[in-house]
Amino acid sequence: MARPTLSDVARLAGVDVSTASRVLRGEAAQRIREETRERIVQVARELDYRANAFARGLRTARSSTLGIVVPQLDNPVFAAAIQGAEAAAAEHGFSLLIAHRAPGARDAGVYKRLSEGNRVDGLLVASLDDDDVLLSELEATETDYVLLNRTLAGARYSVVLDSRAATRIALDHLVSLGHRRIAHLAGRPGGFNAGERLAGYREGLAAHGIGFDPDLVAVAGYTAEGGAAAMRQLIDRKPTAVLAATLVSAAGAMAVLHEAGWRIPQDVSVIGLHDADVATMLYPALTTVRMPTERMGRLATELLVRLVAGESPEGVAPLAPEGLVVRASTGPVAGLGGSLRAPSGEKRR
């Protein structure tokens, strides 16, 4: 049998479609006799009735669907964010339409295409594109949106991780182990997170009375090759510790250090920002600062849900790091002997 419609339900329950609609939608002002309501609900259940999404959407101009567009699917940070977004969306009765948008793609319009024809009520957007092009594309959609993992001048809502605080935590850990020559493998120059991390690095240095040495900083971006290249550039400066912006760049750096015959953590400590399974797959297992990436996706989604409901929610502050995960890649600075206790095992997860 074909999918039952509202009028099927109404007919079998002996009521008008409008009554059935009211009941099934759980309308606030329920001026419906209890007996009638029960009959309708009962019939609907028997028929396994579900409202036709198109008809409802056509009528209400709302889709109960959110769009999420990401620059890469294979990035663990975005993967986690998507996972959180999907879960939150489902909890609020929304579906998630996913789209991919290559960084720098001049295809003028994933955002628009998604928002056209009321396909989505709102957009979750992660992007590595420049502020101006992103903003103009977004504004052209005339749709509510929330930025994921970045800020954007001119955009009201974005949910980000507190990269600066995370960097501070990493740096404090290294300093507590006696390190003072700490190299920084930075992210994409000009990028929001990269800037925050560099700021955290400098702040932390200053707080510990360590001078900032620009020769200990190199741009690694977000690839293993980038991390390796940056490390090659810095290795002659003889750092005793390396603070990498991401797991991937940390991995690239570690490969270079291995090749150069440096032992980790005996000769050099390495710490990465963000935590993921790969941290345990590296050798030695990487000490990291865990970040609430999945929660970022959840919060952004919840914000967006309220936004499309017509509310004007408060923005959310940068999400605090969840803490340090000490593994095997960090240890006391060489030459300090037993004066500082070496970390042992994984402290938290």
Partner DNA sequence: CTGTTAGCGCATTCAC
Partner DNA sequence: GTGAATGCGCTAACAG
CA separation for the pair 170, 272 (Å, rounded): 8
Exposure string over 243-282, b if 16+ CB within 10 A, otherwise e:
bbbbbbbbbbbbbbbeeeebebbeebbbbbbbbbebbbeb
CA separation for the pair 223, 227 (Å, rounded): 6
Interacting partner of 210 out of DNA, its own copies, none (Cβ under 5 to 8 A depending on kind): none
Q: How many residues bind its own copies (CB under 8 A)?
A: 51
Interacting partner of 6 out of DNA, its own copies, none (Cβ under 5 to 8 A depending on kind): DNA
CA separation for the pair 202, 298 (Å, rounded): 31
Q: How many residues bind DNA (CB under 7 A)?
A: 30
Near DNA by CB under 7 A, which window of 30-38, 181-189, 244-252, 321-329? 30-38
285 three-state secondary structure: coil
Provide the minimum distance between the beta carbon of 56 and DNA in the complex, in angstroms, as a whole number.
Answer: 4
214 three-state secondary structure: helix
Q: How many CB atoms lie within 10 A of CB 19?
A: 18
Residue 42 touches DNA, criterion: CB under 7 A: no
Residue number, 76 or 318, with CB nearest to its own copies = 76
Residue 83 touches its own copies, criterion: CB under 8 A: yes
Structural contact between residues 218 and 246, judged by C-beta atoms closer than 8 angstroms = no
CA separation for the pair 169, 290 (Å, rounded): 10
Residue 24 touches DNA, criterion: CB under 7 A: yes
Provide the minimum distance between the beta carbon of 349 and its own copies in the complex, in angstroms, as a whole number.
Answer: 12
Helices (H), the chain: 6-13, 17-24, 34-47, 53-60, 76-91, 110-115, 131-141, 163-176, 192-207, 224-234, 247-259, 277-281, 293-308
Burial classification of residue 112, based on how many CB atoms lie within 10 Å of its CB (0-12 exposed, 13-18 middle, 19 or more buried): middle
- Residue of 99, 89, 154, 92 lying closest to 126 (CA atoms): 99
Structural contact between residues 296 and 148, judged by C-beta atoms closer than 8 angstroms = yes
Which string of x and - marks every residue 227-256 that binds its own copies (by CB under 8 A)? --------------------xx--xx-xx-
Residue 342 touches its own copies, criterion: CB under 8 A: no
Q: Which amino acid is at 295?
A: R
> Using CB under 8 A, which of 280, 313, 318, 323 touches its own copies?
280
Residue 16 touches DNA, criterion: CB under 7 A: yes
Residue 212 touches its own copies, criterion: CB under 8 A: no
User: Which residues in the 320-349 window bind DNA by CB under 7 A?
Assistant: none
Near DNA by CB under 7 A, which window of 1-9, 153-161, 179-187, 191-199? 1-9
Residue number, 37 or 179, with CB nearest to DNA = 37
Residue 31 touches DNA, criterion: CB under 7 A: yes
> Using CB under 8 A, which of 7, 73, 154, 340 touches its own copies?
73
- Residue of 247, 246, 183 lying closest to 214 (CA atoms): 183
Tell me the chain's radius of gyration from C-alpha atoms: 26
Interacting partner of 252 out of DNA, its own copies, none (Cβ under 5 to 8 A depending on kind): its own copies
CA separation for the pair 140, 63 (Å, rounded): 19
Provide the minimum distance between the beta carbon of 215 and its own copies in the complex, in angstroms, as a whole number.
Answer: 26
Residue 133 touches its own copies, criterion: CB under 8 A: no
Q: Kindly list the residues in this chain that would bind DNA in the complex (CB under 7 A).
A: 2-3, 5-7, 14-19, 21-22, 24-25, 31-33, 35-37, 49-52, 55-56, 58-60
Q: Kindly list the residues in this chain that would bind its own copies in the complex (CB under 8 A).
A: 3, 50-58, 63, 65, 73-74, 76, 79-80, 82-83, 86-87, 90, 95-100, 114, 116-119, 223-224, 247-248, 251-252, 254-255, 258, 276-278, 280-285
